[in-house]
Amino acid sequence: MKVSGFIWLLLWFTFVTAGCWGQTLRQEAERDGILVSTAARLPPLSEPAYAATLAREFNMLEPEDAMKWAALRPDERTFDFREADALVRFAVEHKMKVRGHCLTWGRNNPDWLMQGHFTSNQLSRLLHEHITRVMEHYSGQVFAWDVVNEALEEKGTVRGSIWYDQPGIGFAGQGTAHIEQAFRWAHEADPKALLFYNEAEGEWMNRKSDAIYAMLKDFKQRGVPIDGVGLQMHIPFLEADTYGIAANIARLAALGLQVNITELDVSLPLDSNSMVRAEDLLRQAEIYRAIVRACLNSSNCTAIQTWGFTDKYSWIGSHSRGTRGQALPFDRIYRSKPAYRAVLDELSAGRSQSR
């Protein structure tokens, strides 16, 4: 069944009006001592609806792209903090925390870096300088950082990258040593900041999550300065092993690590008219509900973050070439969807509820 205008209106009215008027994700999360967050972009802040929804619903934001190398480093000698600073100012003005993303990644790097034919010693110097300059610039403003992003392959092996082995910063062939070095530099730059490893496709129990767990256990045992792990949670095909997610969160928390859900979205198949089925919206809501509940059932799961909050600015459409979309809790005109109500209901139930 396609969602006609009438059916969509009925679904929207039912879910928005269920429960108490006036409650927001932010209000319920703060009552329960958890951070509810989203990745944010600067240009849409000029839209009143975008800015108002962001400030009303979330108590933390993470710049989606503005703190990545490609945005901050137009050339080797220059740091351009203007876009990221504007997002931080918005957060401060609205009493939101800021989570930084990301200091080290094999992608989204500027051409001058990727095509510069730097030696390992030069790359080591550049990365150390970058981590230090960026973290010192935001010291006292950004309380937590994704220090390293997506450094492992699906099978759990180390991913080839400019920082590891192309040519790397001096630790090629030494497993996760380059990741460890980035965390040590980050701790030196801002000892008060919380430091996270952020990864995709390792949310439930599989070879990759086993490799993440083994690496973080090793880091903790050897005193590498790491505080937490980010589980991205880009969920395709309306499939999520929520029991496996809960078990994975539990074992990571048992290491003494904070767990953050960092990039949650649940994409839906679109027909030729960019419409979705009503039953898919409801299934999407149940996946959101189960993931939020898995987080709330662990005292070490301290943040739930979506990768954007409105379908208007989701990456899913372009990434899937228009075959998937509507992955977020708010639609393109900022109406809340069944997924929003599911998240709100779980936050309202709080950490004490067990399932």
Cα(4)–Cα(113) distance, integer angstroms: 49
Query: Distance between alpha carbon 154 and the CA centroid of its chain, in Å?
Result: 18
CA-CA-CA-CA dihedral for 97, 302, 199, 308, to nearest 10: -50
Q: Distances from the Cα of 199 to the Cαs of 77, 103, 217, in angstroms? A: 29, 13, 15
Cα(50)–Cα(47) distance, integer angstroms: 5
Residues 289 and 266 sit within 8 Å (Cβ to Cβ): no
Cα(232)–Cα(238) distance, integer angstroms: 16
Query: Distance between alpha carbon 170 and the CA centroid of its chain, in Å?
Result: 29
Residue reference for tokens 């999550």: 209
The encoded tokens of residue 291 equal 């993931």
Cβ-based neighbours of 5, under 8 Å, separated by 6 or more: none
**30 annotated active-site:** no
Cα(148)–Cα(165) distance, integer angstroms: 15
Q: Is 119 helix (H, G, I), strand (E, B) or coil?
A: coil
- Considering the candidates 57, 62, 150, 203, report the single residue annotated as catalytic: 150
H or E element in which residue 338 lies: helix 338-349
List residues bridging with 277 in a β-sheet: 2
Residues 259 and 295 sit within 8 Å (Cβ to Cβ): yes
Residues 63 and 39 sit within 8 Å (Cβ to Cβ): yes
- Considering the candidates 28, 64, 180, 263, report the single residue annotated as catalytic: 263
Cα(64)–Cα(68) distance, integer angstroms: 8
**76 annotated active-site:** no
Q: Active-site residue numbers?
A: 150, 263
